[in-house]
Chains A and B, each alone.
Chain A
Amino acid sequence: MSNGDPIIEARAITKSFRDPVVTPVLKGVDLKVMRGEFASVMGKSGCGKSTLLYILSTMDTDYEGELRLDGERITGAPHEHLSRLRNEKIGFVFQFHYLIPEFSVLRNVMLPGLKRGLLSEREVEERAMAHLTTMGVAHQARKLANQVSGGEKQRVAIARALINEPLILMCDEPTGNLDSRNSEIVFGIFSALAAKGQSLLVVTHDEDFAKRTHRVITMDDGRVVDQGQRRPA
């Protein structure tokens, strides 16, 4: 583990579901993702990898242990602050596209940028168009989000996740719902991003996908069983 400071660092994360009986899901997970790293979390269904990702993403605050993002301890931070962190420092891609159907593709990409309020609406729009062009979906920009195909939606979602230049891009089964051709396109985008120094953390149960990332973290039954070896890109 070299290459500078960790972007995100989890220490002894423990979480249990309490409904209806107490079921431990995470049993003391330690994990670090370094700057510029393209890491993946592998594991069987129900091993807790998604749960871990939600905790890392700051959306789930109901856990024990400590979480640091970019050197700042964020465990126990107020919700408003976490919302801002998510907006500014974390990008998300989900298994299901999760675009807002009432908005156009372009507007969907722009929303987090507008929320951040750092740039003018025009600048945000230019940047969104640039990302859409990179993703190869610029021609769909003016369509409503539910009028484009599944693979395109996922690429739009990646463009949205990148709009605020996040420190880390977190993905929950980003190719889980796509056919092999679209999966390949998405992986290509991720590789290109990683090559430009973007940190990525991808949760997946697709072994082929995981193997091609820089580092494969393996989880089983709520524990990290293998932190993986960093493999040169």
Chain B
Amino acid sequence: MGKRLLLSISSTLLRARLRQSIVAAVGVAISIAMYIALSGFMNGLNGLLDGLILNRTPHIRIYNEIRASDQQPLERLIERSGGRDVSHPFINRIKPKGDQIAVRNAMAVINALRSDPRVDGIAPKVNAQVFFNAGTIEVNGAVNGIDPLEEDRLLNFSEYLLGCSVSDLAASANGVVLGKGLADKMRVGLGDAVQVSTITGDRFTLKVIGFYQSGMADFDNISCFVTLATAQNLLAKPRSWITDIQVRLKDLALAPAMAKEYARRFDVDALDIQTANAQFETGSSVRSLISYVVSIVLLLVAGFGIYNILNMMIYEKLDSIAILKATGFSGGDVRAIFINLSLIIGVCGGAVGLLLGALMAIGIDHIPFHFDALPTMTTYPVDHDPKYYLIAIAFALVTTYIAGWFPARKASRIDPVEIIRGK
């Protein structure tokens, strides 16, 4: 009975000041809506920009760095003879050998990775240098032999693909997806054949089945994608010849530690994403910070609006408060009445704000937007995470509660005698 009575008193007072209450609620609604729309939009963009890096960088990349042998035979000899130079050096520099660029025992490494519970997926890759024969000149090109389906699952390959699907590439024996810049340079279109020479001098003919556009000109101007098997054929290498193993983890944060572990365990080089993109985290967190600051300011302004209106209402209602107190309502009851008032405004404004925010987010989601780096995207990216709606409504309630609390406390402390006397 008690709570319902106080609530009914609150709502009666509210209805008597309907216009002011609506203005206050609209303030809350606008700030909630702006928070949702802004957060969704900013985080959508953030996710897009982060994705440009994260999606293209495997969490751990396992490869063999081309380098000279760490320990040259001469040093070994000197070491063995206790530091005295007693040798007649014939071999003093062992140069890197060609087949070193492949990951040793790649199939075994892949199997070991597949059984690691921390690993979400792996995509093997063969990198090779080739030349494209365009008329009389030869254009430098980098062939990426990939497993298209895995590459898409791990690194969102299809987002950059134009003119064909990943399964088209997976199914074609001699198809090639050319970088957009490279294709423009050679003036080839879909279905055209391109001549490829490997560094060993072998020649192949590949059929253009699609284009690739990452937005990074340096990359788009030289890259092309074929299947793993095609790349291995180009290089005349066996099926087990893999130059890169790209690993996606279930938990990104484990990457640095696991990269070290793999490097030791498989005697390979392993590069984790954090090391590969050290600065990117900073930009991302600064962008989130800005969106939070903007939203909090909006909600604070709404909070002050409520505070103002309640304060005004309390001055108008001094008589009513005095009567309530004289007839047995305690200070706590009066406080509850005014906090209820504030919360009703908060809940109504918040609910309208959620709806408005969702509409705005959907609206932004439909504004056309073209981005070179993501050719498959046509509208602005918006993050529709329910998290933002929860934060927004929680913050609205907390703000309105606090905005109501101070005036309510003042109301609860009003001395009825002073009011009644004052007449």
Contact = CB atoms under 8 A, between A and B. Distances in A.
Interface in A69-117: 79-80, 83-88, 92, 94-96, 98-103, 107, 111-112, 114-117
SS class, residues of chain B in contact with chain A: helix
Given A84-B328, A99-B323, A117 B2 contact: yes
B328 A94 contact: no
Nearest to B320: A100
Contact of A86 (B2, B327, B415): B327
Given A84-B328, A116-B328, A96 B1 contact: no
A115 B326 contact: no
B416 A114 contact: no
Q: Which residue, B12, B326, B327, B415, has most C-beta atoms of chain A within 10 A?
A: B327
Most buried by B among A114, A115, A117, A121: A115
Contact of B1 (A87, A99, A107, A114): A114
B418 to A, nearest CB: 9
B331 A79 contact: yes
A98 B328 contact: no
B332 interface: yes
Contact of B327 (A102, A111, A172): A111
Interface in A103-139: 103, 107, 111-112, 114-117, 121
Interface string B1-25: 1100100010011011000000000
Interface residues of B, number: 28
B417 A83 contact: no
Interface stretch (A6-14, A34-42, A52-60, A201-209): A52-60
Given A59-B417, A60-B417, A117-B1, A98 B323 contact: yes
A79 B423 contact: no
B327 A79 contact: no
A50 interface: yes
A57 B327 contact: no
Nearest to B321: A100
Interface string B313-325: 0000001101111
B16 A98 contact: no
Contacts of B421: 50, 54
Contacts of B330: 79-80, 83-84
Nearest to A92: B326
A59 B416 contact: yes
B324 A100 contact: yes
B329 A83 contact: yes
B394 interface: no
Contacts of B417: 54, 59-60
A74 B230 CA distance: 97
Contacts of B236: none
A107 B9 CA distance: 10
Nearest to A54: B417
Interface string B72-111: 0000000000000000000000000000000000000000
A215 interface: no
B336 to A, nearest CB: 12
Interface range on chain A (Cβ under 8 Å from partner): 20 to 34
Contacts of B323: 98-100
A57 B326 contact: yes
Contacts of A98: 319, 322-323, 326, 420
B333 interface: yes
Nearest to A121: B1
Interface string B340-380: 00000000000000000000000000000000000000000
A102 B328 contact: no
A54 B419 CA distance: 12
Nearest to A116: B328
Contacts of A79: 330-331
Contacts of B329: 83, 87, 115
A94 B333 contact: no
A115 B327 contact: yes
Nearest to B423: A96
Given A102-B12, A114-B1, A114-B5, A87 B423 contact: no
Most B CB contacts (10 A, CB to CB) among A57, A80, A86, A121 go to: A86
Interface of A: 50, 54, 57, 59-60, 79-80, 83-88, 92, 94-96, 98-103, 107, 111-112, 114-117, 121, 160, 164, 172
Chain A to chain B: the 7 pairs with minimum beta-carbon distance, closest first? A87-B328, A83-B330, A102-B16, A112-B327, A117-B1, A100-B320, A86-B328
Given A83-B329, A94-B420, 8 more contacts: A59-B416, A84-B330, A88-B328, A94-B326, A98-B319, A100-B320, A115-B2, A160-B327
15 contacts: A50-B421, A54-B417, A59-B416, A92-B327, A98-B322, A98-B323, A98-B420, A101-B320, A112-B327, A114-B1, A114-B5, A115-B5, A117-B1, A160-B327, A172-B420
